[in-house]
Amino acid sequence: MTTEHQTVKVYMVVAGDYHNMDHARLELLKLCAEHETMRVQIAGNYNDLDAIKACDVLISYTCNVVPELHEQEALRDFVRSGKKWFALHGTNSILEFIEGGVDAPETAPVIMETLGTQFLAHPPIQPFTVTASDPDHELVKDIGDFETDDELYLCRIHGDLHYLLETRFVGEATGFIHADWPEDVPHPVYYINKVGAGEVLYLNLGHCRGHYDMQPMVDYYPEVEMGSWDKPEYYELLRRGLRYCAGMPVNGGAA
């Protein structure tokens, strides 16, 4: 637990493909700015391992950003050492466009095992219900079930995850190689993956895309997609997650 005047060094990686990274970066910085003790360093990759090692909390909002093997190992060791990584949305994605659809090659097992999941597919964006897996946990207590029109992540699971929020889906993830999902099982939306003495806190909601975020594939994307960024529940989850990873009281408000 941090003391009253102790600063928290945050290393934030926001970068990648097919999303409005500027929006996500700005909103996450605004949430960090609610805590005057949070000092944030921004990056577009995981290259500066010395800076990451020196930070207290790692935050990532990426899509299709795959660290080199030595960087994956350093990220795993960062968490193992007792620190927390707040991973958001597409941090666990590796996307490869091949004949027949979008594939999710298993070419970075170290980081995926550290994160606890690897993205495989999502059905077309449409409303779905998010429910609490552990309703008494401080990170989700009293938030309740809510509906969102985000990307519903269908993932390969690594390890024994502590589910906080989940959803259900049976059907076809059109456009992806891993398209068929016939089993009615819970899919994690928010979870904790313990790695050594530390934890990865992963919230896979948060899709956002503007008109110009699909270039060069598409010059002008017709619809603006905000996913969960217009849901008060999402912001409450982000606020609590930030405080949790920083060692602050989860329901303690701004500090």
Domain residue extents for the chain:
8-245
The C-alpha R_g of the chain, in whole angstroms, comes to: 17
Q: Kindly report the CATH number that applies to the domain delimited by 8-245.
A: 3.40.50.880
- What confidence tens digit (pLDDT) does each residue in 221-233 have? 999 999 999 999 9
CA distance 75 to 254: 28
Q: What is the pLDDT of residue 252?
A: 58
Q: Is 78 helix (H, G, I), strand (E, B) or coil?
A: helix
Which structure tokens are listed for 180?
Answer: 């068929």
Across the chain, what does the average pLDDT equal?
96
Cα 214 vs. chain centroid, distance in angstroms? 20
Kindly report the CA angle at 2 between 85 and 51, in degrees rounded to 5?
45
Q: Is 130 helix (H, G, I), strand (E, B) or coil?
A: strand
Mean pLDDT of 179-206: 98
pLDDT-derived band at 183 (thresholds 50, 70, 90) equals very high
pTM of the model: 0.97
- What confidence tens digit (pLDDT) does each residue in 88-143 have? 999 999 999 999 999 999 999 999 999 999 999 999 999 999 999 999 999 999 99
Nearest 10 degrees: Cα torsion 251, 58, 207, 124: -110
pLDDT at residue 253 greater than cutoff 50: no
- CB within 8 A of 248, min separation 6: which ones? 1, 2, 8, 35, 255
